[in-house]
């Protein structure tokens, strides 16, 4: 066996062994997660709930914040970058080496759907994010004014045939895992399924 063959064999063996460890949750995966979306979508409330277990009202995010979150066997360095106009200009500075993007939308505020769709479409067109998993969280379903998942998909130009599917580890024609989940951060429902889904793609 020459040096190249030996190196290839060792690489294959290590990848197989690491995959086995991950399968049985015997090793942690480190990942970088960005919380993006317009202001008042619920990003800071979500991060606070995940990090402290408490839900509380939050002031608008003035500057980027970072929390380390352990979800299953994945350790996320999670960045809440804010969503007001000036904060959005900083988003691209944090996208290098991102492992997953969470784009939150206030599902109860129809007046801002067009603005949210524009920001989301701009992100999806970035070449260096072409293979990065996207979670689209439609938040605030506890409010009577919240739209359904079908309506949110329509407004965001994300019909079911262009998203990945919530059960299986597949990718759609754009080679990017992307899926829509409806949630209520204050009621702590919906987003756990989203993180379980994305964990299939973080290996």
Q: Could you read off the pLDDT of 56-84 as tens digits, one per residue?
A: 555 555 577 888 888 777 888 999 988 77
CA distance 81 to 122: 16
Which range of 1-15, 17-31, 62-76, 162-176 scores highest in mean pLDDT? It is 62-76
In this model, does residue 28 exceed pLDDT 90? no
Q: Is there a contact between 139 and 183 (Cβ–Cβ < 8 Å)?
A: yes
Instruction: Read off the pLDDT of residues 77-119 as tens digits, 9 standing for 90 and up.
Output: 999 988 777 777 888 888 889 999 999 999 999 999 999 999 9
CATH architecture classification, 28-199: 3-Layer(aba) Sandwich (3.40)
Confidence class of residue 3 from pLDDT cuts 50, 70 and 90?
low
Rounded distance between C-alpha atoms, residue 124 and residue 157, angstroms = 12
pLDDT at residue number 92: 86
pLDDT in the model for residue 18: 47
Of 202, 159, 196, nearest to 180 by C-alpha is: 159
Query: Taking the alpha carbons of 154, 187, 52, 177 in that order, is the dihedral positive or negative?
Result: negative
Q: Which helix or strand (DSSP H or E) is residue 119 part of?
A: helix 113-124
Q: Is 151 exposed, middle or buried (0-12, 13-18, 19+ CB in 10 A)?
A: middle
The model's pTM is 0.81
Given a cut of 80, is residue 34 above it in pLDDT?
yes
């Amino acid at each position: 066996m020459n040096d190249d063959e030996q190196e290839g064999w060792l690489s294959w063996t290590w990848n197989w062994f690491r995959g086995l460890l991950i399968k049985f949750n015997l090793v942690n995966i480190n990942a970088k997660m960005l919380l993006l979306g317009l202001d008042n979508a619920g990003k800071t409330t979500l991060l606070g709930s995940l990090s402290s277990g408490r839900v509380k009202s939050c002031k608008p995010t003035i500057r980027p914040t970072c929390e380390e979150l352990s979800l299953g066997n994945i350790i996320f360095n999670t960045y809440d970058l804010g969503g007001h106009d000036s904060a959005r200009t900083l988003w691209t500075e944090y996208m290098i080496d991102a492992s997953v993007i969470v784009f939150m939308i206030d599902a109860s505020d129809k007046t801002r759907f067009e603005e949210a769709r524009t920001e989301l479409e701009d992100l999806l067109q970035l070449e260096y994010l072409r293979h990065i998993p996207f979670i689209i969280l439609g938040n605030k379903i506890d409010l009577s004014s919240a739209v359904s998942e079908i309506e949110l998909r329509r407004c965001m130009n994300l019909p079911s045939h262009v998203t990945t599917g919530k059960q299986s580890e597949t990718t759609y024609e754009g080679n990017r895992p992307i899926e829509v989940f409806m949630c209520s951060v204050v009621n702590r429902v919906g987003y756990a399924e989203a993180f379980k889904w994305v964990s299939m793609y973080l290996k």
